[in-house]
Chains A and B, each alone.
Chain A
């Protein structure tokens, strides 16, 4: 029973990964791409890791998978935030149909 639920988690993770990378290619702007890709790939890889944990059980491999989940949840949003800040400071323009840019308003104030 655990194996079936684990394989379902792995399939969900792979599908999330695929749509995240499709968004990385298709979306018009750096910030849109960053949003789609980071969210989908983080959830996808954490899903794969949780599936590995459910299949292997409380063995050393399962504990390592849980460690990778903890580490990814802590670090992936941090890296995305730093990248978006660096890109904004280096002068990457927003998409021309974007509505507002609160960070720019805060900087010029």
Chain B
């Protein structure tokens, strides 16, 4: 059963990667698709994480992935204000993760 689950996941990952590399996308669009695949893996962990701390870790990593996504989007479209979105998202993600860790620790926010 465990081997079967492992095999199904490997087949799905390989299918998505081959689909990305067969289609005639440009280089930066391929990078964007691979980052979207990473976000899908993070969402999988958010949905199926056994504890609340797993979900907090996944939300942190998802925020950092979105910052990188904004940087590549800036190069791909030639619009520099995507980097501003990246700066704002990094700040908000850091503050949110600190609040989540305080909540996990069982203390109130003003300590």
Contact = CB atoms under 8 A, between A and B. Distances in A.
Given A17-B65, A48-B68, A64-B83, A25 B45 contact: yes
Given A55-B75, A72-B64, A86 B53 contact: yes
A77 B8 CA distance: 34
Interface string B23-60: 00001000100110111011011000001111011101
Contacts of B51: 30, 87, 92
Nearest to A90: B104
Interface residues of B, number: 46
Interface string A7-37: 1001101100110111011000010011001
A33 B105 CA distance: 19
Q: How large is the interface on A (under 10, 10 to 19, 20 to 34, 35 or more residues)?
A: 35 or more
Contact of B71 (A52, A79, A82): A52
5 contacts: A18-B34, A20-B61, A37-B57, A82-B102, A89-B104
Interface of B: 9, 27, 31, 34-35, 37-39, 41-42, 44-45, 51-54, 56-58, 60-61, 64-65, 67-68, 71-72, 74-75, 80, 83-84, 86-87, 90-91, 94, 97-98, 100-106
Interface of A: 7, 10-11, 13-14, 17-18, 20-22, 24-25, 30, 33-34, 37-38, 41-42, 44-45, 48-49, 52, 55-56, 59-61, 64-65, 67-68, 71-72, 75-76, 78-80, 82-83, 85-87, 89-90, 92
